[in-house]
C-alpha cells in the first residue's frame, strides 16, 4: 500500500521516502536514510524521526503481510546507538502475532548494512480497523487523492 502524501512512504519532499520489500521468512525490509532535515542533536538523527521510520516500517509490515487496514495503537522504541546524518538504517521487521484485532510486530534497525550494528529496536501494537476509521476521521479530499493515486488497491475489507 502506497499513498503519495504519506510522510513515511510518500513523495512529499520533507518525508522519509521509505520503501519496503518482503524478504525470506516473511521478514519485511525497509531503509531509511538520515538527512540533515532529520537532525536532533547536531549531526545526529532526531529520536522522534527514528520512531516515525519504525512506525512506517512496522505499519508496512502489517499491510504487506496481512493486507488489512490497521493503525498504530502503541509504539515502543529502544535507542541503542546514535544514528549519524548520512547513515542508512536497514530495518528488518517481523509479524509476532495476531490476537483478534490486535497485531503485534517488532523490528530492529542496523547501521549502514543489513548486518551492521543494531541502533534501534521497536515493538508495536497495531489495531485492525474498518475503512470507516479513515472516512470518519480523515477528510474527503485526502481520501479522494488516496483512491486516485494509490499503487495498490486490493484490500480484504470484510474477511
Ligand atoms: C481509505 C482507507 C485507507 C487505508 C490505508 C491504511 C494505511 C495505514 C497507514 C499506517 C500509517 C502508519 C501507522 C500510523 O501512523 S497510524 C496513525 C497513528 N495511530 C492512530 O491514529 C490511532 C488512534 N487510535 C485509535 O484510533 C483507536 O484508539 C484504536 C483504533 C487504536 C483502537 O480503538 P478501537 O475502539 O477500535 O478499539 P479498542 O479500544 O476496543 O481496542 C481494541 C484492542 O486493542 C487494545 N489496545 C488499543 N490500544 C492499545 C494500546 N495503546 N495499548 C494496549 N492495547 C491497546 C485494546 O485494549 C483492545 O484489546 P482487547 O480488549 O480486545 O484485548
Mutate which of 73, 125, 144, 149 for ligand 1 pocket (most atoms within 8 A of beta carbon): 73
The pTM of the full predicted model, rounded to 2 decimals, is 0.93
Mutate which of 69, 71, 101 for ligand 1 pocket (most atoms within 8 A of beta carbon): 71
Q: pLDDT at position 73, please?
A: 98
The residue contributing the CA closest to ligand 1 atom 47 is 73
Three cell numbers, residue 70: 490497521
Its sign, for the CA torsion 7, 8, 11, 17, is positive
Kindly state whether residue 154 falls inside one of the protein's structural domains: no
The residue contributing the CA closest to ligand 1 atom 28 is 73
- Domain carrying residue 139: 21-149
CB 52 within 8 A of CB 16: yes
Kindly state whether residue 46 falls inside one of the protein's structural domains: yes
Domain tally, the chain: 1
Could you give the percent of the chain with pLDDT greater than 90?
A: 79
Cα separation, 4 vs 21, whole angstroms: 17
Kindly state whether residue 12 falls inside one of the protein's structural domains: no
Pocket of ligand 1 (CB under 6 A): 1, 55-56, 59, 69, 71-74, 100-102, 125, 127, 129, 131, 134, 143, 146
What is the tens place of the pLDDT at every residue in 112-159?
A: 999 999 999 999 999 999 989 998 999 888 888 888 877 554 544 443
Per-residue H/E/C for 17-37: CCEEEECHHHCEEEEEECCHH
Question: Which residue in the list 55, 78, 141, 156 is annotated as catalytic?
Answer: 55
Kindly state whether residue 47 falls inside one of the protein's structural domains: yes
What is the tens place of the pLDDT at every residue in 88-121?
A: 999 999 999 999 999 999 999 999 999 999 999 9
Cα separation, 159 vs 157, whole angstroms: 6
ipTM of the complex: 0.95
Quickly tell me which residue has 479513515 as its cell.
Answer: 134
Phi/psi region, residue 95 (left: phi>0; alpha: psi -120 to 50; beta: rest), is beta
Kindly state whether residue 77 falls inside one of the protein's structural domains: yes
- How far, in Å, is the centroid of ligand 1 from the Cα of 83? 29
Active site residue 55: yes
For the CA of 74, the closest atom of ligand 1 is: 51
Q: Residue 123 belongs to a domain with what CATH number?
A: 3.10.129.10
Amino acid at each position: 500500500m502506497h499513498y503519495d502524501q504519506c510522510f513515511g512512504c510518500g513523495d512529499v519532499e520533507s518525508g522519509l521516502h521509505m520503501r519496503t520489500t518482503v524478504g525470506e521468512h516473511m521478514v519485511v525490509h525497509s531503509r531509511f536514510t538520515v538527512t540533515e532535515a532529520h537532525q536532533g542533536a547536531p549531526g545526529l538523527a532526531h529520536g522522534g524521526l527514528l520512531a516515525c521510520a519504525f512506525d512506517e516500517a512496522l505499519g508496512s509490515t502489517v499491510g504487506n503481510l496481512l493486507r488489512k487496514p490497521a493503525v498504530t495503537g502503541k509504539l515502543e522504541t529502544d535507542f541503542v546507538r546514535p544514528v549519524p546524518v548520512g547513515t542508512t538504517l536497514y530495518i528488518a521487521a517481523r509479524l509476532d502475532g495476531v490476537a483478534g484485532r490486535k497485531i503485534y510486530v517488532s523490528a530492529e534497525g542496523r547501521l549502514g548494512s543489513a548486518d551492521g550494528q543494531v541502533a534501534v529496536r521497536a515493538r508495536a501494537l497495531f489495531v485492525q480497523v474498518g475503512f470507516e476509521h479513515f472516512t470518519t476521521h480523515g477528510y474527503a479530499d485526502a481520501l479522494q487523492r488516496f483512491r486516485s493515486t494509490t499503487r495498490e488497491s486490493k484490500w480484504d475489507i470484510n474477511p
